[in-house]
Amino acid sequence: MAEIPLYFVDLQDDLDDYGFEDYGPDCDNMRVTAFLDIPGQDNLPPLTRLEKYAFSENTFNRQIIARGLLDIFRDFSNNEEDFLTVMEIVVRLSEDAEPTVRTELMEQIPPIAIFLQENRSDFPVVLSEYLIPIVVRYLTDPNNQVRKSSQEVLLILLEQDLIFQHDIENKVCPILLQLSAPDSDDEYKAEAVSIICKMASMLSKSTVERLLLPRFCELCGDGKLFQVRKVCAANFGDICHAVGQEATEKFLIPKFFELCSDAVWGMRKACAECFTAVSHSSSPGVRRTQLSPLFIRLVSDPCRWVRQAAFQSLGPFISTFANPSRAGLYLREDGALSIRPLTQDFDSGFASGSPAPSSGGNTSPASLTSSAKPVQREPELPVEGTSAKTSNFPHMGSSPDGPAENPVESCVSAGAELTGLSPETSAFSKLSDNSDFPISSYPGSDSWACPGNSEDVFSHFLYWRTPLPDISKDLELLLSEAGPQEDYCSRPGVVHNNCVARSEIQKVLDSLQEHLMNDPDVQAQVQVLSAALRAAQLDSVNEPESKPTAGLNEVSISDPSSASDNQITLSASSSQNELFVARILQSTDPGEPRNGTRDHLEADQRRDPTLLEENKSKLQDIIPQPLLDQYVSMTDPARAQTVDTDIAKHCAYSLPGVALTLGRQNWHCLKDTYETLASDVQWKVRRTLAFSIHELAVILGDQLTAADLVPIFNGFLKDLDEVRIGVLKHLYDFLKLLHEDKRRDYLYQLQEFVVTDNSRNWRFRYELAEQLILILELYSPSDVYDYLMHIALKLCADQVSEVRWISFKLVVAILQKFYSNSESALGLNFINELIIRFRHCSKWVGRQAFAFICQAVVSKECVPVDQFVEHLLPSLLSLASDPVPNVRVLLAKALRQMLLAKAYFRNASNPHLEVIEETILALQSDRDQDVSFFAALEPKRRNIIDTAVLEKQN
């Protein structure tokens, strides 16, 4: 209501009483308080008249005074006594009983503060003693409109840095803490929380951490009013950014966990939306070990709206794991991607969250590689504080002092140490704890990868390590010593582990039955666990009849290398399904350690070897694997039914960021997902990919681009116009990344862009012309002449003038390309083609286009002068007899404002000067006024007339 000038309409009679009847809504430049300068019947001075109307019983009078305070300060700020009187009037107006007056007054405070800052040396004192108390008092005003105005004014003053630190700490923050106290009114508390969250980014870190952070943490747990918690959750990322990483991890992360587990789904949804901002303010270790499992919980939330928000934030959250030293790419200040060589420091392998191994033990690159393998197989496992322990147990096979006394016990004890890391680590270690194959439970540095070519799975440690020594003799000795002990102790452990595993799987299945019909994710988990349970039961029946340990030992003694290969193959082939079952068990109840099974999964792997290859293709160590699994699952059609119909579009939108995070060495993890999105039935998904394919090409490099992106790019070229425009807008950016031979394949396909599904889509052709101007540098002059020149000529004859104007610039760029590369013959042929097509065109638009092209050629100086005067100038001057005035107007401007502006044509010895002057004289006497005007216009006055506007009008 405060912005509606009701007094202009309803109270015009009151304005007439002030002595200026003409004041109305159209008098924007007249001061609101102009009546103070007009002598009235009371014969009072302006200041006294101001006091009279400021305290009038008429509400409208007081409202007018409040609205015109800025003009009043401008009039009375020069005299100190008058200024103090005006300030007293402001203070009294702030106590007005009418809410509209108080609202008008509050809205004038920001411009008044800026004016006083520029014109008063005592501005800090005036602001602190007069204006800030009004703003603070209005925060508790009983009228809602007044409070809203004061909140907006407070944020404006803070944003403009007009409030000083002393006033913030002693006047603003205390009232906000009072309003947000537990015993405060609910409405005031919610508003105070909103202000605290919004002003946190405008205050210093120390102020927020010392004054506002404790109250914010207290409000996050407010059990009385969920609106307060929701405001806290929605602005959690801003508070984290304001206080920094240390305070975030110490105070805010625990509160964030509580909010993510709130019973109200709106709270959890707000947490999912701000998850990326919280992750930015956390350390890599906290991000990996704490935030990642928490995000997995949100992705699997029972509420569809929470899952929808979580999946929308999944890609941005994954991008917070980006590490330029590992991905080999980084963003420059201008926002462009740049390539950075991968670091050769093996410690960078821990940059994503895990600290480097302790220097107290063996820390050679080879030993670090072997010690890290069990953890790297499941990269989301936290290794905080355990690197010294985990870096010791693998050395039993290559210790300089010989093999360990009891290698089986050493392995088991080392695995026990790993179980203390986290629930998920515990599940992993128990899955690998079976003593049937003592060495395969803790494989060497290479055996963690899947069988086959070890280069299929990229490992930063494996890439930079030094070659491992030959330990075949040590392995033979180790197996011979381990055999008798296995016969003694392995079987009871296997039976016990299988029994525990069956009970655990059965317990999880029972808990998932109630959700079976509602969520396809639960159905998939039930299927996997049911198969695991059946296999475990079958193994328990057949166990007494089988002795794989003895058989393995017999083979290993006779042929150690063969035994080692078999063990490695069995271990690697079963690892992926074991880990998948472990993830299901851990995600169902992360607070309890889980036991797992292994034997039944080996049979599944042998029956379906393609499953192994598929799992192997998803291995990476940059981000926690469950996050990548969830991201890849966004292309599942079932997700569109249970989460969001646009989930595939969100996946496509964030895919370049995820690819940048993983790096080109892990592109195999996203390749299938990208191909699925590129063939999605929704054109919005394909359009999103088309707009970002050039950025993805920079991330992947030329080899992967040629192999994986070029086929998809070719498909986009034949897609709908809505998809093709995304490719077209960045056509130059994509083509410049290809090799020259690959780039030439697109010369013929560029002509297809001229044809559109809708001929009225002229912006498509306009964008094509703009891109062709850039693309010229990528091809040779002969290619430009054979392919691109014909496209340019076709665009110059377009029905839409905007397309023609940009095409004329393309023609000039082509001529410049020819002559700058000393291809005069091609340039001359193109000039002749222009003369035939446009100078002798039957339509006046074509002849006008020829005049404009000649004008642009002279302006850009893209053609040698001798070539211009010999081939273009005669045809240009012949337009003086054209019957259409629009053509002669453009000719007059080209001759008068462009040619005569060049020193060559003004030279008296120039043989062509006489012909040009005669043509100009003929145009000056033209019967058309516009032609004669521009022909007589002096070149120095050309800036007075906006020729571009006139050209478009013509």
CATH at residue 731 = 1.25.10.10
Domain ends where: 321, 345, 368? 321
Is the residue at 405 inside a domain?
A: no
User: Are 305 and 269 a contacting pair, CB within 8 Å?
Assistant: yes
Burial of 424 (0-12, 13-18, 19+ CB in 10 A): buried
The yes-or-no verdict on residue 6 having pLDDT over 60 is no
pLDDT for res 209: 92
The yes-or-no verdict on residue 509 having pLDDT over 90 is no
pLDDT for res 450: 38
Is the residue at 384 inside a domain?
A: no
The string of pLDDT tens digits covering residues 664-721 is 889 999 999 999 999 999 999 999 999 999 999 999 988 999 999 999 999 999 999 9
Quote the tokens at residue 824: 């005069």
Greater model confidence, 425 or 882: 882
Q: From the CB of residue 287, how many other CB atoms can be counted at a distance below 10 Å?
A: 22
**Nearest 10 degrees: CA dihedral of 840, 841, 842, 846?**
-130
CA distances from 183 to 147, 196, 216, 222, 475 (A): 19, 17, 15, 11, 71
Task: Identify the CA nearest to 399 among candidates 424, 369, 362, 445.
Answer: 362
The yes-or-no verdict on residue 627 having pLDDT over 50 is yes
Is the residue at 2 inside a domain?
A: no
pLDDT for res 434: 39
Q: Are residues 902 and 862 in the same domain?
A: no
Please name the residue that has the structure tokens 């420059």: 332
Q: Are residues 632 and 734 in the same domain?
A: yes
Task: Identify the CA nearest to 375 among candidates 363, 391, 361, 360.
Answer: 391
Burial of 946 (0-12, 13-18, 19+ CB in 10 A): exposed
Question: What's the DSSP call for residue 391?
Answer: T
User: Are 936 and 894 a contacting pair, CB within 8 Å?
Assistant: no
d(CA 667, CA 476): 39
The yes-or-no verdict on residue 360 having pLDDT over 90 is no
Is the residue at 473 inside a domain?
A: no
CA 349 distance to own-chain centroid: 25
- Lowest mean pLDDT of 81-85, 335-339, 907-911, 949-953, name the range: 949-953
The whole-chain average pLDDT of the chain stands at 74
pLDDT for res 630: 94
The string of pLDDT tens digits covering residues 133-153 is 999 999 999 999 999 999 999
User: Are 727 and 695 a contacting pair, CB within 8 Å?
Assistant: no
Quote the tokens at residue 598: 């292994």
Q: 705-722: b or e for each residue (b if 16 or more CB lie within 10 Å)?
A: bbebbbebbeebbebebe
d(CA 122, CA 886): 64
Q: Are residues 869 and 916 in the same domain?
A: no
Residue type at 64 in one-letter notation: I
Name the CA radius of gyration of the chain, rounded.
39
Give the model's confidence band at 9: pLDDT under 50 very low, under 70 low, under 90 confident, else very high: very low
Is the residue at 254 inside a domain?
A: yes
Q: Are residues 314 and 228 in the same domain?
A: yes
Q: From the CB of residue 421, how many other CB atoms can be counted at a distance below 10 Å?
A: 21
The yes-or-no verdict on residue 158 having pLDDT over 80 is yes
- Residues 423-429: what's their mean pLDDT? 37
pLDDT for res 82: 86
Q: Are residues 670 and 629 in the same domain?
A: yes
pLDDT for res 668: 92
- Lowest mean pLDDT of 338-352, 683-697, 857-871, 916-930, name the range: 338-352
The yes-or-no verdict on residue 540 having pLDDT over 80 is no
Quote the tokens at residue 237: 């990322």
Model pTM score? 0.65
- Residues 86-111: what's their mean pLDDT? 91
Question: What's the DSSP call for residue 181?
Answer: S
- Residues 81-96: what's their mean pLDDT? 89
User: Are 863 and 815 a contacting pair, CB within 8 Å?
Assistant: yes
Q: Are residues 916 and 898 in the same domain?
A: yes
Give the model's confidence band at 755: pLDDT under 50 very low, under 70 low, under 90 confident, else very high: confident
Q: What is the largest CA-CA distance in the chain?
A: 123
Q: Are residues 46 and 101 in the same domain?
A: yes
pLDDT for res 77: 80
- Lowest mean pLDDT of 138-147, 241-250, 456-465, 838-847, name the range: 456-465
User: Are 683 and 722 a contacting pair, CB within 8 Å?
Assistant: yes
Please name the residue that has the structure tokens 């509420």: 303
Domain total of the chain:
5
Pairing of strands 337-339, 329-331: antiparallel
- Lowest mean pLDDT of 270-284, 360-374, 489-503, 669-683, name the range: 360-374
Q: What is the SS3 string spanning 545-573?
A: HCCHHHHHHHHHHHCHHHHHHHHHHHHHH
The yes-or-no verdict on residue 439 having pLDDT over 60 is no
Q: Give the residues across from 329 on adjacent strands.
A: 339
Q: Are residues 886 and 870 in the same domain?
A: no
Q: Are residues 907 and 857 in the same domain?
A: no
d(CA 216, CA 233): 10
The string of pLDDT tens digits covering residues 20-40 is 333 344 444 445 555 454 455
- Which residues lie closer than 8 Å to 559 by C-beta, 6 or more apart? none
The yes-or-no verdict on residue 74 having pLDDT over 90 is no
d(CA 105, CA 90): 8
- Residues 390-414: what's their mean pLDDT? 36
Greater model confidence, 653 or 13: 653
Domain ends where: 289, 321, 353? 321
Give the model's confidence band at 186: pLDDT under 50 very low, under 70 low, under 90 confident, else very high: confident
Greater model confidence, 237 or 607: 237
pLDDT for res 753: 87
Q: Are residues 858 and 891 in the same domain?
A: no
- Residues 583-589: what's their mean pLDDT? 45
Domain ends where: 102, 132, 163? 163
- Residues 866-881: what's their mean pLDDT? 89
The parent domain of residue 679 ranges over 621-738
The pLDDT > 90 percentage for the chain reads 40
Q: Are residues 848 and 892 in the same domain?
A: no
Please name the residue that has the structure tokens 């993805």: 696
Question: What's the DSSP call for residue 329?
Answer: E
The pLDDT > 70 percentage for the chain reads 63
Cα angle value 529/532/537 (rounded, 5°): 125
Q: Are residues 808 and 731 in the same domain?
A: no
Give the model's confidence band at 213: pLDDT under 50 very low, under 70 low, under 90 confident, else very high: very high
CA distances from 386 to 84, 175, 371, 372, 624 (A): 70, 48, 11, 11, 18
Is the residue at 465 inside a domain?
A: no
Is the residue at 338 inside a domain?
A: no
Please name the residue that has the structure tokens 């992993």: 428
Task: Identify the CA nearest to 245 among candidates 285, 212, 215, 302.
Answer: 285
What DSSP assignment string belongs to 734-762? HHTTS-HHHHHTTTTGGGGGG--SSTT-H
The yes-or-no verdict on residue 505 having pLDDT over 80 is no
Q: 77-89: b or e for each residue (b if 16 or more CB lie within 10 Å)?
A: eeeeebbebbbeb
- Residues 418-434: what's their mean pLDDT? 36
d(CA 665, CA 323): 13
Give the model's confidence band at 908: pLDDT under 50 very low, under 70 low, under 90 confident, else very high: low
- Which residues lie closer than 8 Å to 744 by C-beta, 6 or more apart? 779, 783
Is the residue at 551 inside a domain?
A: no
Q: Give the residues across from 339 on adjacent strands.
A: 329
User: Are 541 and 551 a contacting pair, CB within 8 Å?
Assistant: no
d(CA 788, CA 820): 17
Enclosing H/E stretch for 488:
helix 472-512
The string of pLDDT tens digits covering residues 766-785 is 999 999 999 999 999 999 99
Give the model's confidence band at 305: pLDDT under 50 very low, under 70 low, under 90 confident, else very high: very high
The yes-or-no verdict on residue 166 having pLDDT over 50 is yes
